[in-house]
Every structure is written in structure tokens, then in C-alpha cells.
Homo-oligomer: A and B are copies of this chain.
Amino acid sequence: MAAIKYHLIKKDSKNKARLGILETPHGIIETPVFMPVGTQATVKSMTPEELKEIGATIILSNTYHLYLRPGHKIIEKAGGLHKFMNWDRAILTDSGGFQVFSLNSLRRITEDGVEFRSHIDGSRHFFTPEKVIEIQNALGSDIMMSFDECAPYPADYDYVKKSMELTIKWAERGKRAHKNTEKQALFGIVQGGTYEDLRKECAQRLVDMDFPGYSIGGLSVGEPKNVMYDIVDLTTEYLPEDKPRYLMGVGSPDDLIEGVIRGVDMFDCVLPTRIARNGTVFTSKGKLIVRDAPYAEDFSPLDEECDCYTCRNYSRAYIRHLFKANEILAARLATLHNLYFLIKLMKKIREAIRQDQLLEFKKEFFKKYYGNKEEY
């Protein structure tokens, strides 16, 4: 039996948005879904109970980071990542590819894999497609990623083509190495940069290999937004209807909506948690830098329309004070709010799809979020 099962519930009649249910060994996920990022076996500043309370059904964790610290063997001994971090809902792990390729000066790519140095202590390591499967098997995530090469932007055609070929070969090797298919689903990752024919070819060849789900990688790495949207739109054309699609590393409110409209089911991004820790929060009227002086005596909540724990109990003035005073509670309250904002946005998106109203919802949301600006 397969580890996960995707049920397509309904399609919006006016665009490619899909309402679905994803069954995993750790619970049911309504899609489209936003996955909070828990890089080091913790969604920064949050407890698992708080994540559940705001409606998170799946989180992402990073293979590269956990491999280096505390080490996947320790997590395996603890009984797996779920038990180690006290999270009994679904977990998706990435392959470490994106992180390893981000270590520009610290890595060397061969056909066999990537040699890199730890950002923590400079020690040498070697990731192969088989190794990252072994690590993810030890972690016990519900959804795993194939090892891929994420080409930079911009990159010339030949480089991206070669990189895509490598990614496909590595996907094959990873698939062969993955034994625990009944408990863990391995996704293939579509690469191909901003070249339409490469994206199409990569998608088709991965689909031929029959993965239980497909990721769209290598986007939101510097290309213009309309280019990203076009590539997503094109890619989902070649992905099967009965498998989930995951757009990696994307999670601003506008990108979530635009991604769903183009047929994406799953998203993750460090944005909401990272900007929260710096004192920036989402509101129904756009982003707000609560650290700023104008909020010193503003006793209203972060967002008048929000009913999260933070907005029910604390004022902008208090949260600003906590940020100015470098208090940990500042990060907690802002993080909780930002994650709730995105999770609730996804809920509204799902409801809109159910009503065939996603395009109308988008218009209303953007109007309020960006104010009266002509362009957004």
C-alpha cells in the first residue's frame, strides 16, 4: 500500500485550482495547504500544541540541518522525528539539495553527488541521492524529497539542461534506494529553470517514473514573479491530476493565491516565521512593521480582523514594546499570528474553490491587502 493518497474533491470551474484531501500516515491534510517550516526539528518559537491550535496539519523540516545537528542517527534512536519533536501530525522533509547548493564556496558537484562543508563546523560531508534517502528514512517523514540540483537564476540553457538531467538521474537512484514506501512517500522534483521545454521534459520524464507526488523546485530564486507564475502554470499542465503538487519555498500571500490558481496543492516558506521574528506581520490590510514608532501607543490588535491568540489578547503597543526590549515573547506572538494568517488564508482559498469563487476572492483580498494601488 502507498504511504499517501490524494483525493481530488473538486476543481474550480474558472481556473486550475484544486480542492483535495491528502491522506498520510500522520493524518488527513486538506489541500491546498501551507506548511510551516521547522528547519531544526522545531518551528521557531512555537510548540506543537500551538501549531495544532492554529490549524497546521503538516510541517516541513530540513534534512541538511538535521543530518548535521543533532544527526539523523540520534533522531532515529529517539524513535523518529515525530517522536523526537513531539509532533504527531504529518512531516515533509526536503532533500537537502537546496541547502547544499546554497553553500556556494563550500561545495563540489559530481555525477555521483555533492561534497560540501558544514556551515556549523566546516567538516566535510558527501550527499548522494541514496544518502539523502537513507537520512530521510531515518527521520521517518511522511513525505520525502528526491535529491535534486537547484540551478541558480539566471543560468544559461545548457547549464540548466545538464542540471535537469542530473536531477532526473538522481530521482531514479533515490527511488531505487527508497525501501520504506508504505510509510513514506517520495516525491520527484521538477527542475528546468525558466525554460519551458526543460520544465515540460522534466515533468514528463518524472511522471513516467510514477512518483506519489511532484514538487516544483528552483523557483522564487530571483526570477520575476510573472515568470514564476508562467512556469508553474506550464508545469502543472504535465502533472497527473491524481497526485499532489508542491511548489517549494513559496509562501507570500500573493504567491499562495497565484500558485493555487495554477493548480498547486502544497506550499512552504520561511517568510512568515522569519519576518515575524524581525517584527513584521501580515494583516488584512498588508504588511505592518510593528517595531516601528507609530505603534508605541497603538492599543489595537495587529489585525482588527484576526481572531488568533495574539490578536485576541495583545496590542500593537505591547508587542512593539516586547520587540524593542528583545523579549522572546515578541517572536512567539508575531510568529503565531503570521502562521495563523497564512493557514487561515488557505482555508479561505479552499472555501472559495468550493464556491467556484477563487478569482473573486483573489480580487477582494488583493484590493484590501494592497490598498488602492493600481499595480500589485
Interface residues of A (CB under 8 A from B): 40-42, 44-47, 65, 69-70, 74, 77-79, 84-86, 296-297, 299, 313-315, 317-318, 320-322, 324-325, 327-329, 331-332
- Specify the chain B residue showing the minimal Cβ separation from A327: B42
CA distance A318 to B297 in the complex (A): 40
Q: Given contact pairs A47-B332, A65-B325, enumerate 13 new A-B contacts (beta carbons under 8 Å).
A: A40-B322, A42-B322, A42-B329, A44-B327, A74-B297, A74-B321, A78-B299, A78-B318, A79-B299, A84-B317, A85-B318, A86-B318, A328-B332
Residues of chain B lying within 8 A (CB to CB) of residue A84: 315, 317-318
Residues of chain B lying within 8 A (CB to CB) of residue A315: 78, 84
Say whether B318 contacts A41, CB under 8 Å. Answer: yes
Taking the full assembly, how many copies of this chain does it contain?
2
Say whether B42 contacts A314, CB under 8 Å. Answer: no
Residues of chain B lying within 8 A (CB to CB) of residue A77: 297, 299
- Specify the chain B residue showing the minimal Cβ separation from A70: B321
Say whether A86 contacts B313, CB under 8 Å. Answer: yes
Partner of A69 from B65, B74, B325 at Cβ < 8 Å: B325
Q: List 24 A-B contacts (CB under 8 A).
A: A40-B322, A41-B321, A42-B322, A42-B327, A42-B329, A44-B328, A44-B329, A45-B329, A47-B332, A69-B325, A70-B320, A70-B324, A74-B317, A74-B321, A77-B299, A78-B299, A79-B299, A84-B315, A84-B317, A84-B318, A86-B313, A86-B318, A328-B332, A332-B332
Residues of chain B lying within 8 A (CB to CB) of residue A78: 299, 315, 317-318
Closest CB in chain B relative to A40 CB, distance in Å = 4
Say whether B332 contacts A331, CB under 8 Å. Answer: no
CA distance A325 to B45 in the complex (A): 12
